Structures are given as structure tokens and as C-alpha cells.
Amino acid sequence: MADIKDVIFSRRSIRWFKKEPVPDKDIDDIISAGIRAPTASAGEQWHFVCVTSEENRKKMLSFIKKGQMAYLSRALRSAPAKNEIDKWNEMFVKGIYDAPAYIIGLLDYSTRTLNDEYINYERMWGIESVTLALGNMMLLAWSKGYGTVFIAVPKFYEEDLKESLGLPARMEYAGMLALGKPAEMPELKPRKPLKITKI
């Protein structure tokens, strides 16, 4: 069994993937690890959708591209220069984020846990719970030789995305993972020096 510390300290985001499909058994293992994450009020207000069909992967990829372009050109406080945007367009043509599987994490409010005046807390804790589940999935996937990247930007087109993929309108997009065997092994991204406030 892989050492948890090795898995955590060697994981890095992967954005270029091999074409080989992810077997169902591995997808099941990865999502099972996800739902072992802690969940606010033990509510399990989450729903995970695994996208593997050619048709739906193409749709997903187009939302990732639209989201990434909106992120670069509209959302970022310091928008990149045009040549940087051109570079991203080229990378999309070459297959960045084109993964054999995507796992979408949705916040599912079908069972509510808090009184209405606490809805902001319930939503925040629900999103946090989905994110912890996606974090578990990233680590289990890495331990099995798969790469992932957390992708937030399709959120900009949430309603269109849900309609296009037939996802339930009442659920909220929390985040997603692209998943597949890595076709690249980027350097580990450095972190700021460890600074702990001990009180």
C-alpha cells in the first residue's frame, strides 16, 4: 500500500493526459474514497457525475475552455497579454485538459439539514464537504498512478453546463476533476514557506 505521506507530498496537478480509458473499477474506487470524506451534519449533500462518453467529454471540454478563457480575459484582476491568451488557445487545440474521465462534484440539497436562516452556512459547509471528497479522490487517484486537476472555471457557465449535460437543475456545481494517466510530470509547485501561528 502506498504511504499516505508519499502520496500527499508527490501529488501535483496534471493537465495533459494519455488517451487510455479509466476502467470502471478504478473510477468506483476513486469515488468510494471520495465519499469517505467528512461531511457537514453527516448530510452527504453531494452527488458525483462521472463523464466518460465521447460526446459528453467533448461538451465538458468545451465548458472548461470557455471557463478558462473567461477566467483569463474577464475574471483575473491582472488580465494576461494577448499572446498569453493565444498560447492558451493553442494548448486547447493540442489537447490540454482532454482527459478520459471527468468527475463533477455537485452540491445536492435534496435533504436539508439547517433552518432556512442558516442557509448560507449550509451552502458553505456543503461545498466544503464536496471539496473534501474531491480531495480524497485526487489522493487515491494519485496513489493508483492517475493524475487529476481540480477545475473550477466551468462554474462561470454553470446553468448552461447543467442543461447541456442533463445535470439536475436543483444541484449546484462545486468543482470537478479531470482524471487520467499523466502524459506529463510537471515539477512540484513550490509553496510559501511554512509559517504556523502557534497560540
> Residue 136 is placed in which grid cell?
480524497
Closer to ligand FMN at the Cβ: 166 or 190?
A: 190
Please choose, from the candidates 102, 23, 13, the residue with its C-alpha nearest in 3D space to the C-alpha of residue 62: 102
Q: Which is nearer to ligand FMN, 24 or 86 (CB)?
A: 86
Q: How far is the CB of 97 from ligand FMN (least distance, A)?
A: 7
Binding site for ligand FMN (CB under 6 A): 12-13, 15, 149-153, 189
Q: Is 130 left (phi over 0), alpha (psi -120 to 50) or beta?
A: alpha
Which of 95, 97, 91 is CA-nearest to residue 147?
97
CB 136 within 8 A of CB 175: no
Least distance in angstroms from the C-beta of 150 to ligand FMN = 4
Q: Is the Cβ of residue 23 or residue 186 nearer to ligand FMN in the bound state?
A: 186
Closer by beta carbon to ligand FMN, 61 or else 149: 149
Tell the smallest beta-carbon distance from residue 63 to ligand FMN (Å): 11
